[in-house]
Amino acid sequence: MRRPTRGILCAVGLVLLLSGCEGDNVHGSPTVPTAGAIEPAPPASDVPGFGAPKVDSALDTSKVEATPCESLTDAQITDLLGTDTSETEENVTGPACRWNNRGEQNAFVAVHFPKVTDLGLTAIYQAKGGQYKFFQEMPAVRGFPAVAWSGTDETMTMGKCNVAVGTSDRTTVEASVRLSDKNVGTKDPCEAARGVLDLVIGNIQGGR
């Protein structure tokens, strides 16, 4: 059984959280952002649409959706967050889990399987320049298309980013992070979120 509190080391490779691999500076219990429903929705035959890339081979995420806090291993959380962490599973707009560092850094990582729309990456591409003022295509994650997005264009200065990976033409898995004060403005939060998704998809492909 997973423990809600873990001892954690710093992972330089993911440039996320505590002093060397910084994390979130959000106080309290941050919510997991999601692409949300976009209106009007394109016809089923037009998905993917609005320039969204097609997912050539769908990834079955049903097993990990049932236990979203198993999307990352204890060791991976250890590498990402630092000491004194909490783990919270929720299902508001879809299965999700968030991990907070409860120290002064308030590091934050969340993994989410949104269910508010069945448009996959199309919903995010449809909202770029409107609802999502920040939009950036990212390198594919283990062969699956990825995009970073946010409702504000201050992603780098705030050290926060959401990255979605298309697991099929109609589904995504998403990661959200915020860098700690020390790394805000010096490290890329979108690359950090993409690194989290690389771990998640690797775990899914490995049979977790």
| CATH code for the domain in which residue 50 is found | 3.40.1000
Q: pTM of whole model > 0.85?
A: no
pLDDT computed for residue 159 by the predictor: 84
> Is residue 27 one of the residues assigned to a domain?
no
pLDDT at 180: 77
User: Is there a domain that residue 121 lies in?
Assistant: yes
* Closest alpha carbon to 21 in 12, 34, 29: 12
Domain contains 25 = no
Determine, yes or no, domain membership for 23.
no
Domain boundaries, position 187:
12-18+33-205
Task: Check if the beta carbon of residue 109 is closer than 8 Å to that of residue 177.
Answer: yes
Q: Find the helix or strand (DSSP H, E) in which 199 lies.
A: helix 189-205
Q: How many domains does the chain have?
A: 1
Query: What is residue 198's predicted lDDT score, i.e. its pLDDT?
Result: 98
